[in-house]
Amino acid sequence: MTNDMAVLDVAGISKRFGDLQVLSDISFTVTRGETVCVLGPSGSGKSTLLRCINWLERPDAGQIYLNGDRIGINNGGVVMSDRELSRVRTRIGMVFQHFALWPHLTVLQNLMEAPVQVQRRPAAEVREEAMALLAKVGLSDKADVFPARLSGGQKQRVGIARALAMKPDVLLFDEPTSALDPELVGEVLLVMRELAREGRTMVIVTHEMGFARDAATRILFMDRGRVVETGPPERFFVSPDTERARQFIQRYAAG
Amino acid sequence: MSAADVLAILQGAVVTVTLSLIGILIGLPIGLGLALLRWANVPVIARVVAVYVSVLRATPLVTLLLLLFFALPNVGIAIGPVSAAILALVMNTSAFNCEVWRAALMNFPKEQYEAAQSVGMHASLRFRRIVLPQIVRVSLPGLVNEMSLLIKVTPVLAVVGVVDITRAAVRIGAETYEPLPPFLVAIAMYAPIVFALVSLQRFIERRQLAAEAA
Amino acid sequence: MIRDFAIVWSERDLLLSGLGNTTILSVLSAIAGLVIAFVLTPALMSKRRWLALTVRVFVDGMRCVPFLLFAYIVYYGLPSFGIRLDNWSSGLVALTVYHAAYLAEILRGAWVAQPREPIEAGVAFGFSGPRLFRRIILPPLLLAAGPVIGNQMIQIVKDSAFLTIIALPELTHAASSIQSRHYVPFAAFITAVFLYWGLCLVIEAGVSGIDRLASARR
Ligand SMILES: Nc1ncnc2c1ncn2[C@@H]1O[C@H](COP(=O)(O)OP(=O)(O)OP(=O)(O)O)[C@@H](O)[C@H]1O
Ligand SMILES: [Mg+2]
């Protein structure tokens, strides 16, 4: 059921909060090197979907596989313990809308924290990689600064570097630029474009249509908890199959 | 432990509550007065008040009480246990209240004060009609909190011989050779009083939050 | 009056050992109380309702009981259950347990006020259980709650004076001894008051140090 190239395989995920059905039977796969952009109106369940993938939110139904390994349910068929979940989660990088950097740690320490404390990798080796990642996002000079001293754009670049430091199989982004001042969006998107070019496997929830159009390999359009349409950006943006998608594109193209 | 013993502790409770109330009632306005002296930045006096508050906030009530009880007669001021107790409570709580009042004063919007000035209100009227009602509101939770703290240190009054809850309990414990029951009764008298104050504080905070949200 | 202070000066060893004992007592119970609070606070925040409720009853209970009565219970009451502690141990146990409850509540308050996302990021990056608390949740709590914890430390110092009643030779007890030996009440107790003040100023200096650390991270 999982094809060889599938890094992430989401099969029939559903989730409800009380009376509200937030996700209904969501299925899709992400193959190695893909950049999948998830679009959709506010409240359509995009964040919830990402949070279900790494079980920050426990899905009510469906399965999620990461490189063939079931997430959330162990081999015995029971829900994973916190420790087991933690181990799987280190293979999924996450970038948050409000950065979610750890305020008590310097930039470098933010990058090193999970690899050293959770993955138990040698600190010296992690430090070297972390410095390289900081160079890559253009923040070498900020290594020993606390997050509070950074601009929003710099914070989010640290957030991305922090996710990369765990060497995850897949990166999840939840609206990584929507908390930024307009003039700071570009520097973050630049880094993300670079990652896409390198062929990182990514799932990106975004409202940046320009970015989705030229960086995504595939668009996933959600509405009211369902995947309404999926396809390559050229087709999605030019001739969408559904009326909903057409309206959505029009609204955002105008705005 | 007999019913008479419980009654004795209850009588002690009346003493405790009375002394606390007196301490609070006198301490509140004094605290406000001290806060005003600091707020108005009266030269020298403001500094003196600041040091007074700082020292008293650091002084355990037992130590203060022993100081007053033993040292005042020494300098020719006759003082009984009850007066020493009240004086100690007032000194203690006024220092803490001063900080609460002062915080409210510091945060009082200057423009409002100037607006009152601009409509020709004179200083005392301005204070009574504009400033006071608002800082009372802001200070209320903090002041109630201070009251519960004050109640919680009153057992120490027993040290100089005030027959309060604690002294009654200690005496009964010594007479019956069973110290635990009278202490539990004593706690059973304190807990509801403190609990009521803590609940009152939470209630006020919640109501004020709700009022702000509305 | 000068003579009185000269007498107190001649008894400085007694006073200093009292100050030393007050300091030791306060520092030990502050540390032990914090460590216990590190366990109580996650329990207060636990999703297991029975656990949260049990700890909540303990914490609120302690907050409704005067410290002196609690110390009495530990010293005079526990022997009824066959647990007999000397005055040092009962003093330490009473101070520690009592203030652990207050510290736990302080940390819980700071926790609730923390932004949720960084903690969630901790979970997403594979932290869980005690490690999540220790590495991700706790450090910002300590920084944010620094001043309030400092106030509680001052409260601990002050409550330790109550222990004079169970004849623990702390600072107030030392002052009492000097006063009863030489009848110099003013000099003896005012000296003690200023020593307490000094201790609190030290604590406040420590707090403002922590605050400087915190403001770089805010
Ligand atoms: N923990 C929760 N409890 C209850 N309802 C929730 C919870 N989390 C999300 N929801 C609801 O689920 C729906 C989907 O939320 P979600 O955050 O996934 O939407 P979204 O597509 O990310 O929207 P946006 O673009 O505004 O971020 C919303 O109606 C939201 O109110
Ligand atoms: Mg969202």
The beta strand positions in chain C, using DSSP E, are: none
Picking from B98, B92, B94, the residue whose alpha carbon sits closest to that of residue B135 is B98
Q: Tell me, using a 6 A CB cutoff, whether residue A59 lines ligand 1.
A: no
Over the stretch A167-185, which tens digit does the pLDDT of each residue have? 999 999 999 999 999 999 9
Q: Which of A168-177, B48-57, B156-165 has the lowest mean pLDDT?
A: B156-165
Taking 70 as the threshold, does the pLDDT of residue A134 lie above it?
yes
Say yes or no to pLDDT of B138 above 60. Answer: yes
> Which residue in chain C has the smallest CA separation from B150?
C66
Per-residue pLDDT at B156: 87
**Confidence (pLDDT) at A255:** 52
Strands A6-17 and A61-66: antiparallel
Question: What subunits make at least 3 CB pairs under 8 angstroms with A?
Answer: C
How much is the pLDDT for A1? Answer: 46
What residues does A174 pair with on adjacent strands? A205
Cα separation, B183 vs B158, whole angstroms? 13
The string of DSSP codes covering A57-115 is: S--SEEEEEETTEESSB-TTSSBPPHHHHHHHHTTEEEE-TT----TTS-HHHHHHHHH
Q: How many CB atoms lie within 10 A of CB B116?
A: 18
What is the mean pLDDT of the segment spanning B130-155?
88
- Write out the residues surrounding ion ligand 2, Cβ under 5 A: A 47
**CATH number, domain at B194?**
1.10.3720.10
The Cα B61–Cα B204 span in angstroms is 28
Chain C residue numbers touching A85 (CB-CB < 8 A): 128
Contacts of C143 in chain A (CB under 8 A): 103-104
In angstroms, rounded to a whole number, what is the distance separating the alpha carbons of residues A246 and A223? Answer: 12
CATH H superfamily, domain C2-216: MetI-like (1.10.3720.10)
A216 pLDDT tier (thresholds 50, 70, 90): very high
Q: What is the ipTM metric for this complex?
A: 0.92
Most confident residue range from B114-118, B158-162, C202-206? C202-206
With tokens 């590190």, the residue in question is C38
| Run means of pLDDT, 10 residues per run, chain C, 218 residues | 84 92 96 96 93 94 92 86 87 96 94 93 95 94 91 94 89 91 90 95 92 86
Look over chain B and give the mean of its residue pLDDT values, rounded to a whole number: 88
| pLDDT grade for A4, boundaries at 50, 70 and 90 | low
Confidence tier at A3 by pLDDT (50, 70, 90): low
Nearest Cβ partner for C161 among B63, B183, B194:
B63
- pTM for the structure as a whole: 0.89
Q: How many domains does chain B have?
A: 1
Burial classification of residue B28, based on how many CB atoms lie within 10 Å of its CB (0-12 exposed, 13-18 middle, 19 or more buried): buried
A118 has a pLDDT exceeding 70: yes
- Confidence at A254, pLDDT banded by 50, 70, 90: low
Task: Please tell me if the CB atom of residue A75 comes closer than 6 angstroms to any atom of ligand 1.
Answer: no
Q: Is residue A44 within 6 Å of ligand 1 at its C-beta?
A: yes
**Residue-level pLDDT at C97:** 97
Distance from C-alpha of A159 to C-alpha of A208, rounded to nearest angstrom: 18
Report the distance separating Cα A186 and Cα A193, nearest Å: 10
Q: Compute the distance between CA of residue A23 and CA of residue A49 in angstroms, rounded to an integer.
A: 7
Chains B and A make contact, 3+ CB pairs within 8 Å: no
Mean pLDDT (whole number) for B5-30:
89
> Which atom of ligand 1 lies at the shortest distance from residue A97's CA?
27
Give the Cα separation of C85 and C77 in Å (integer). 10
**Chain C hits for A166, Cβ within 8 Å:** 125-126
Residues 129-148 in C contacting B (C-alpha not used; CB under 8 Å) = none
Q: Is the pLDDT of residue B109 over 50?
A: yes
Say what the pLDDT of residue B12 is: 85
